[in-house]
Amino acid sequence: MAKFTLAHLSDPHLPPLPRPKLRDLAGKRALGYLNWTRNRHKYHRREVLDALVSDMQAQDPDHIAVTGDLVNLALEAEFAPARAWLESVGAPDRVTVIPGNHDAYVRVTAHRFGEVLRHYLDGDDATRAGAAFPYLRRRGPLALISVSSAVPTPPLMATGRLGRGQMDALGRILAQLSEEQAFRVLLIHHPLRSNARAKRLTDSSQLRALLKQHGVELILHGHDHVHSTIWIEGPNGTIPAIGVPSASALAHGRYPAAAYNLFSIERDGEAWRCEQIVRGMGDDLQVQQLQQTRLI
């Protein structure tokens, strides 16, 4: 079986932010817009994102996973540019995307991500096409399992939740896949562990219990805007859960510059072999290899 290469990027927070109308800046969006104009616009740069994506495409991955936060305030005017950017990354059959909390920032537009980007959210099951979570895509030896932790939250909160319906359906998918020889990758926006109460996945303990029972080979997430590797208990050992910085970020404070992951996956006898390469922006704003690690 030939090697399969999966690229992973997250949290592009597509700049620039369209100028909002006054009526759009009620409640949570007002605080978010203030934060963008005072701080975030200085660090999330389109030229950084474009350089990172160009480098990723030059590596010619077999598939690309984008784990959420394409937009910033979920303004109606943000979704068409998000679709155009995603189309520039790759076709729907080569790119799998899930929403982040910023893509469901407020209740009034929480459904728009799924409507505008629906072809990037189609599972292999045609009866569940278009933003029905969880959904399953098989690509080469991979089984990509996508869930949505994106829910509207009150101001100053960025928590996520899967909910009972997704959790039950995910359990059924994982039970089915446990009988197959597939490299199972779970895509989720929020990390499974967080020290920040306002940014946590509120039903993380239930998800970790499912993974302990059924297992996957790899978990990919975003949200924290940092390089991250934690290990989650599975039925036959630990599972690597990998986070990545924002794909558009300049280094600032404790947050590193933009980066993406490349996973090289192949069958090794009766087991799997998975190596991770991290590529990201150096101090000279050129993309370079930062790290190479064997995960499995």
Q: Quick one: average pLDDT of 261-267? A: 97
pLDDT of residue 26: 84
Question: How is 131-200 classified by DSSP, letter by letter?
Answer: T-SSEEEEETTEEEEE--------TT---B--HHHHHHHHHHHHHHHTTS--EEEEE-SS-S--S-GGGS
**Could you tell me the pLDDT band of residue 126, with boundaries at 50, 70 and 90?**
low
19-64 confidence digits (pLDDT tens): 999 999 988 999 999 999 999 999 999 999 999 999 999 999 999 9
Q: Quick one: average pLDDT of 246-267? A: 97
* Other CB atoms within 10 Å distance of the CB of residue 267: 15
Strands 287-294 and 63-66: unpaired
| 132: pLDDT strictly greater than 90 | no
Q: Quick one: average pLDDT of 94-112? A: 97
Domains detected in the chain: 4-294 (3.60.21.10)
Q: Quick one: average pLDDT of 259-276? A: 96
pLDDT of residue 235: 96
pLDDT of residue 179: 86
Nearest-angstrom CA–CA distance, 96 and 66: 6
Task: Classify residue 126 by burial, with Cβ atoms within 10 Å: 0-12, 13-18, 19+.
Answer: exposed
Average pLDDT, the chain: 95
pLDDT of residue 1: 66
| 129: pLDDT strictly greater than 80 | no
Nearest-angstrom CA–CA distance, 194 and 202: 10
165-195 confidence digits (pLDDT tens): 999 999 999 999 988 999 999 999 999 998 8
Question: Is 59 strand, coil or helix?
Answer: coil
pLDDT of residue 195: 85
pLDDT of residue 285: 87
